[in-house]
Structure 1
Amino acid sequence: MKLLVTGGAGYIGSVVAHQLVAAGHEVEILDDLSTGFATNLPAAAVFHHTSIHRVAEILTPDADFDGVLHFAAKVEVAESVRDPEKYWHHNIEGSLALLRAIRTARTPRLIFSSTGSMYSGDGRTAFDEAAEIRPANPYAATKATVDMMIAGECGTGTLGAASLRYFNAAGAVRTAETYLGERHEPETHLIPILLQAAGGQRDTFTLFGTDHPTTDGTCVRDYVHVSDLAAAHLLALEALSPGRYEVFNLGNGDGYSNRQVLDTVREVTGRDFPVYDADRRPGDPAVCIANSDKAAVELGWKPQRPNLSDIVADAWEFHRTVHGIAG
């Protein structure tokens, strides 16, 4: 298939792009490189250095794309709380521009990078696709909004689409061309921040929120290896049919507290560093764990690297390589 990957220079999008190329697909990538990296791009892909708002210049009726995989979005929870308008503009208006282009070009397939953080529950039960949607921050609200937009577009009968609501992507992938891992500027995600502390890029680590209603008082999250997430996109792409919209949760089904992740990083890296407790961050839910039974049954998807120690070890190897840290 001929496929357009928006945000394909970013963390998850680049891993998916490399897997698509390896599977024999013709891949084109749209990315403004505001948070992505040109070094993440597969050599066989055609690259368009532009904004998602200009996607109609690429996704034209004459281009004959068979599908789009949409990753282009702003993803930082705390930033979305500080600057929600930025998230409305990039995530909602950008996705609306994409849907207009898809309709004009009559592109038949769409996979959307969504999030499990939009769910709300009792703090004990894993979220399935029927769980209550009550976003706790503007970032999650934009993803929920785009999900509804895509569902409406599928109602026209032409587009087949799936929103993949994944939980906490982590880990790294080494390809024949490059090494793909998580890196942001500034970094706000837990595992890479902990690895920065272990690697000496940070003097200390701050544990936000120690009074949540969890076993040790810290947030509990479901971590899924980025290579497993990428594999689900290829499976979902094959399962789409015109007029059908589906939602699939993607996670390991196991929850690890922030303190457990901290302990795992110390164990994997063999390094210690000062840790300080601080108040909760605004918009952080206490527990967020996936029930991925639907993806298992309908897509045949099963995580191949579910162990937290393996996920952290892969991320640490990437971090050491990027920063030239000796073992």
Structure 2
Amino acid sequence: MSWLVTGGAGYIGSHVVRALRAAGIETVALDDLSSGFRAFVPEDVPFVEGTILDGELVARTLRDHAVTGVVHVAGFKYAGVSVERPLHTYEQNVTGTATLLRAMAENGVTKAVFSSSAAVYGTPDVETVVEDTPKAPESPYGESKLIGEWLLRDMEVAAGFTTTSLRYFNVVGSGEPDLYDASPHNLFPLVFDALLAGRTPRINGDDYATPDGTCVRDYIHVADLAHSHAVAARKLEAGEPLQRAYNLGSGDGVSVRQIMDAMASGTGIAFEPEVAPRRPGDPARIVATGEAAARDLEWAMRHSLDEMVTSAWEARRRIG
């Protein structure tokens, strides 16, 4: 018995690999290394280099490693860029997921944990999102994640799959000093890169209807996220029922100003962020409740904002 982690050499996927191992689950990682790093996968974890678009490779991996379930993390994850590259986004996230599910069905692998996104909600008209909040994605990325959830639902009906999807907003921090977020689009690496280059980080708008005028969002630690993915896999493996989808959220969120203050403290680099105009479409506050996940998936915000910053900063400094 083992579980396949697609995207297992990426920032989130590599944390999931380690969380599965900590839970005593044998693991194999598959990644095309388009944004991941081979060094992120422990040497004693089988690694297959390739894409989920290669159905034959996926099928062979499932057979060769006696896979019984899949944590599906692989995908094109940049919402803003997806607007400019919709076909690429759909190919990676929709065609890729369909190819993966076909290979699973043909090889009798019917358990799946899908790493989804809170982008499926778009800009909701509520301040705190729950699982049945209406879905209205506003980018090809968000749409592709929602379609991924539909595909899993349909495979439950068509092929007896048991699945769950985990939705979340902004993932930060590091669970291990050798694992870091290398995304050119995420807030933490953008701020770190600016500080290391002597530039001043920027806040987009400080006149929102929030306590300090800046946008409020969920920020969750990657190790907490990975732990709940591993719990979901363990429960599916044991045949325990789970909801089709869970939000992994803080319930209250933090503001961009709070993040900047924590960055200055955690890095030891004092700065006053520049304030730029609002970005079109940015709502004042979007956070998600994690109550259902806390009940079923051992979800908890185990790391403070300061710990999120310091763990990410330690990992970032290791690469120079």
- TM-score of the pair, normalised by structure 2: 0.91
Offset at residue 139 of structure 1 (A): 1.2
1:52: how far off?
A: 1.3
Q: For the residues of structure 1 that align with 2:243 and 2:159, how far apart are their CA atoms?
A: 10
Tell me how far apart the structure 2 counterparts of residues 138 and 36 of structure 1 sit (CA, whole Å): 22
Task: Return the letter of the residue paired with 1:272.
Answer: A
1:317 counterpart residue number: 314
For residues 231-271 of structure 1, give each alpha carbon's deviation from its aligned partner in whole angstroms, at most 9, with x where no partner exists: 10111112224997610111222211212211211122221
Runs of 5+ unmatched residues, structure 1: none
Hey, what does 1:231 align to over in structure 2? Answer: 227
1:32 aligns with 2:20: no
Distance 1:285 1:68, change over 3 A: farther
User: Partners of 1:68 and 1:232 in 2: how far apart?
Assistant: 14
Give the Å deviation of 1:59.
2.5
> 1:203 corresponds to which residue?
199
Q: What is the 5 A alignment of 1:176-215?
A: 179-184=178-183, 187-198=184-195, 200-201=196-197, 203-215=199-211
Structure 1 position 49, deviation (Å): 1.0
Q: 1:163-312 residue pairs with structure 2 within 5 A? A: 163-174=165-176, 179-184=178-183, 187-198=184-195, 200-201=196-197, 203-240=199-236, 241=239, 246-273=244-271, 275-281=273-279, 284-305=282-303, 307-312=304-309
Counterpart code for 1:138? P
1:193 partner SS: helix
For these two proteins, the number of residue pairs brought into alignment is 315
From the superposition, tell whether residues 94 and 281 of structure 1 become closer, same or farther in structure 2 (CA, over 3 Å): farther
Which of the residues 101, 106, 124 maps onto 1:121?
124
CA gap of 1:139–1:283, structure 2 versus 1, over 3 A, is: farther
Q: CA deviation at 1:212?
A: 4.3
RMSD: 2.2
Bigger drift between 277-286 and 96-105 goes to 277-286
Deviations 1:91-145, CA, capped at 9 Å, x for gaps:
1111111111111112021011101122242352x11101111112221111111
* 1:146 and 2:148 are equivalent in the alignment: yes
* Contact in 1 for aligned 2:172/2:221 (Cα 8 Å): yes
CA deviation digits over 1:163-221, x for unaligned, max 9? Answer: 011221111122xxx6112112xx111122112223x2352323234454444443221
Distance 1:258 1:95, change over 3 A: same
Among all aligned residue pairs of Structure 1 and Structure 2, give the percentage whose two residues are the same amino acid: 36
Say which SS state the counterpart of residue 59 (structure 1) adopts: helix
- 1:13 is paired with a residue whose SS is helix
How far the C-alpha of 1:277 sits from its partner, in A, is 3.0
Is this contact kept in 1: 2:260–2:273, CA < 8 A?
A: no
The corresponding residue for 1:9 is: 9
Equivalent of residue 67 in structure 1, options 63, 69, 81? 69
1:291-325 deviation per Cα after TM superposition (whole angstroms, max 9, x unaligned): 111111123332322x11111111111112221xx
Mind listing any 5+ residue stretches in structure 2 that lack a counterpart?
Answer: none
Aligned in 2, Cα 1:87/1:210: closer, same or farther, shift over 3 Å? farther
TM-score (norm 1): 0.89
> Distance in 1 between the 2:207 and 2:156 partners?
43
Superposed displacement of residue 10, structure 1: 0.4
